[in-house]
Amino acid sequence: MPETVLITGAGGFIGSHLVEAAVRRGMIVRAFIRYNSRNDLGMLRWLDGETRGSVEVFCGDLKDPSAARAAVAGCAKVFHLAALIAIQYSYVRPMDYILTNVVGAANLLDACRDAGVGRVIVTSTSEVYGTARYTPIDENHPLQAQSPYAASKIAADKLAESYYRSFGLPVVIARPFNTFGPRQSARAIIPTIISQALAGGPVRLGNLEPRRDLNYISDTINGLLLCGEAKGIEGETFNLGRGEDISIGELARNIVTQIDARIPIEIDPKRARPEASEVERLLANSSKALAKLKWKPEVSLDEGLARAIEWYRSHPDFIDARVYGV
């Protein structure tokens, strides 16, 4: 009999792709969407009608413990992706991040514990490592909060770990490095570059020096699903990264070359993070995921960028290139 899974943050970029993949695998999907009066499904609105029609949409707010309890009822597994994720906005409203990312996670973990959920997959982020102290970064690398967003995600990870150690809640922490692909908003670097380039440029960026390890969305989704399926990995954390890094400047030139090599790339100080908050380098060691999950990225960076460019080119109204998303 198909298992019922809850996906929080289902209306987001990664969450909507996970909903698609889970439906394709025959799971019964309950998609947790933060309630809004517009009945806005977020990125789920881009799913085909058949897929969307097979999903149970659950509206609520994880800051409300009763919503968390109602959402997890009857679920065999929970994929927790709900979070405020825009790093720039965390400088403006840090308390929002504490309430959503920390209190929301605590409410969900407590609900899963009481409901006897079979596995909880908590989605972390490579931002919890801060600027790499050594590379490649393995799961034992120190955690360093260089933004309120990163601090809130570290807190959520440690809560999940504590619920495993204290109460035996079967938690697995998935830690994707930077993910990109269709339906990602302009708050992320790759759609920011693509949208500006497709509009004719110039491409304005805050800092060209930081280096990132980039995953195409389908590889991240496969890693999350494997974290839900692999046996005997409760209580563990898994990096999901390519093991190759590229500077933001090199990335921008790669994208611009694919669109129109004549487009200039410029520095815009307004887009830069505070100096001590900038994470200079992220480069993953994902050997643990390969050994225990049999996971490795399948889509090359160039192929993934080509796919992303084509999607944004065919969806010109998705992002307004004049607006810098946070």
Give the model's pLDDT for residue 268: 86
Q: Residue range 241-250: average pLDDT? A: 97
- Cα–Cα distance for residue pair 56/75, rounded to 1 Å: 12
Fold for 4-181+216-240, please state it: Rossmann fold (3.40.50)
Give the model's pLDDT for residue 322: 57
Which range among 66-80, 81-95, 309-323 has the greatest average pLDDT?
66-80
Q: Residue range 171-197: average pLDDT? A: 95
Q: What are 106-141's pLDDT values in tens digits?
A: 999 999 999 999 999 999 999 999 999 999 999 999
Q: What are 301-315's pLDDT values in tens digits?
A: 999 999 999 999 999
Give the model's pLDDT for residue 323: 56
Q: Residue range 73-93: average pLDDT? A: 95
Three-class DSSP category at 1 = coil
User: What percent of the chain clears pLDDT 90, i.e. is strictly above it?
Assistant: 87
| pLDDT band with cut points at 50, 70 and 90 for residue 321 | low
- Cα–Cα distance for residue pair 161/229, rounded to 1 Å: 19
Domains in the chain: boundaries: 4-181+216-240
Give the model's pLDDT for residue 326: 42
Which of 63-72, 260-269, 294-303 bottoms out in mean pLDDT, i.e. has the lowest? 260-269
- Cα–Cα distance for residue pair 223/284, rounded to 1 Å: 14
Q: Alpha-carbon dihedral of residues 199, 201, 205, 210, nearest 10 degrees?
A: 90
Q: What are 194-210's pLDDT values in tens digits?
A: 999 999 999 999 899 99
- Cα–Cα distance for residue pair 105/264, rounded to 1 Å: 42
pTM above threshold 0.85: yes
**Is residue 212 scored above 80 in pLDDT?**
yes
Three-class DSSP category at 26 = coil
| pLDDT band with cut points at 50, 70 and 90 for residue 168 | very high
Which of 16-20, 62-66, 186-190, 270-274 bottoms out in mean pLDDT, i.e. has the lowest? 270-274
